[in-house]
């Protein structure tokens, strides 16, 4: 009997290692299909809404599928196109979306959406990232993109929000599960936009874009608007390398991700009444936004067990956003009676 067990132990150990490895690989899987927008039925000069990348569609407006396989300088070519000159972050394709448009009440935006490979698990922490670049310097007769904007980010939904030409433009929700809080103004390199959050629903779809109204959006002028004619106050952002994973090692999240994950609970109690404790985030730059995206408080977290007085605030849902160790975190909390 002992000899039989001894003989089978190496095989059992090997099987266990394979099982652990399989779980690790599954935990690191990217839940976003066609994450680099490389897969497409055709190489086309049509816009995103007609023959865009597989698995993706428009959730607002007409985004552009930019590809290096189309003729150089074509409207949606790479690196030169109508709106910018830029190589993709990886591969030979990326997506371009308008992230600001100063056009009165319409406030045009473009959002892209894809179904996740599997629904999120309620209570599970998810780690998310994508690369973004502020477009500038295309081959249009006049430079048409003159602005960069903040709050480019990601939203998760339960419903498909397919948009077609002729549909009304949706009202900006003034909310994102995570976003880039500063003006995204690098026209040369690709900026890493990353964050994490705890799923409060079994979300099935991911959306990328700028989801805030003009009144809540900060912009940066690339050039003097009086230097050319005409001047169009619009922002256009390139997106590539989208990632959503249940593992902090599954996506590119910048520096210090392992240290952040190991610190345990961040907000407690949640729901809260009089005080909210922020744990293990000393040194973080933070701000609290209400349900419509207004900043109610901003400052620095000064200790590892820091108290925020919320007793006088209206009861409801809020969002705490912190810049900590090279990444941006977003945490939702609720105030109750």
Taking the C-alpha atoms of residue 71 and residue 69, their distance in angstroms, rounded to an integer, is 7
Sequence spans of domains, the chain: 48-245, 257-335
Question: In the predicted model, is pLDDT for residue 271 greater than 80?
Answer: yes
Q: Select the CATH number that applies to the domain covering 257-335 from these four: 1.10.3720.10, 2.60.40.3080, 2.60.40.10, 2.30.30.700.
A: 2.60.40.3080
Closest Cα partner for 245 from 117, 123, 134? 117
Contact 202, 121 (CB under 8 A): yes
Q: Which two tokens stand for residue 261?
A: 């994950």
Res. 9: pLDDT tops 50: no
pLDDT at 327 over 70: no
Higher pLDDT, 179 or 15: 179
Average pLDDT over residues 106-126: 93
DSSP characters over 74-129: -TTBSSB-SSBB---SSTTEEEEEEEEE--TTS----EEEEE-SSPPPTT-EEEEE
Average pLDDT for residues 255-271, to the nearest whole number?
52
Query: What phi-psi label fits residue 18: left (phi over 0), alpha (psi between -120 and 50 degrees) or beta?
Result: alpha
Q: Which of 49, 50, 81 is nearest to 66 (CA)?
A: 81
Residue 308's SS3 state is: strand
* Assessment of whether the complete model's pTM goes beyond 0.85: no
Instruction: Say which residue, 236 or 52, is predicted with more confidence.
Output: 236
Least confident residue range of 8-22, 88-102, 247-261: 8-22
Mean pLDDT of 248-271: 61
Domain 48-245: CATH class, spelled out = mainly beta
pLDDT of residue 84 exceeding 80: yes
At residue 230, the pLDDT reads 63
CA distances from 303 to 66, 257, 283, 300 (A): 46, 20, 7, 9
% of the chain residues with pLDDT over 90: 36
Mean pLDDT of the chain: 81
More confident residue, 9 or 150: 150
pLDDT digits (tens, 9 = 90+) for 191-208: 999 988 889 899 999 999
CA separation for the pair 196, 331 (Å, rounded): 8
């Amino acid at each position: 009997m002992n000899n039989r067990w001894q003989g089978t132990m190496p095989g059992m150990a090997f099987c266990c290692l394979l099982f652990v490895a399989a779980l690790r690989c599954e935990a690191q899987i990217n839940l976003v299909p066609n994450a680099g927008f490389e897969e497409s039925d055709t190489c086309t000069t049509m816009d995103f809404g007609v023959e865009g990348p597989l698995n993706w569609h428009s959730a607002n407006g007409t985004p552009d599928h930019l590809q290096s396989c189309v003729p150089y300088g074509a409207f949606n070519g790479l690196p030169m196109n109508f709106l910018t000159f830029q190589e993709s972050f990886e591969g030979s394709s990326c997506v371009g979306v308008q992230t600001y448009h100063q056009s009165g009440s319409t406030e045009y935006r473009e959002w892209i959406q894809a179904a996740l490979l599997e629904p999120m698990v309620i209570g599970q922490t998810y780690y998310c990232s994508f690369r973004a670049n502020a477009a500038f310097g295309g081959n249009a007769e006049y430079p048409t993109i003159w602005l960069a904007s903040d709050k480019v980010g990601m939203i998760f939904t339960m419903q498909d929000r397919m948009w077609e030409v002729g549909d009304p433009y949706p009202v900006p929700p003034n909310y994102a599960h995570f976003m880039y809080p500063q003006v995204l103004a690098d026209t040369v390199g690709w900026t890493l936009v990353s964050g994490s959050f705890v799923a409060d629903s079994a979300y099935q779809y991911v959306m990328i874009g700028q989801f805030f109204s003009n009144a809540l959006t900060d912009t940066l002028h690339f050039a003097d608007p009086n230097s050319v004619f005409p001047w169009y106050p619009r922002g256009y952002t390139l997106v590539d390398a989208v990632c959503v994973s249940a593992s902090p090692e599954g996506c590119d999240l910048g520096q210090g991700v392992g240290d952040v994950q190991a610190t345990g609970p961040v907000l407690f109690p949640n729901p809260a009444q009089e005080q909210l404790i922020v744990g293990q985030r000393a040194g973080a730059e933070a701000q609290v936004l209400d349900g419509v995206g207004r900043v109610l408080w901003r400052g620095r977290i000064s200790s590892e067990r820091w108290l925020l007085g919320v007793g006088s605030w209206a009861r409801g849902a809020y969002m705490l956003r912190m810049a900590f160790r090279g990444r941006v975190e977003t945490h939702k909390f609720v105030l109750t009676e």
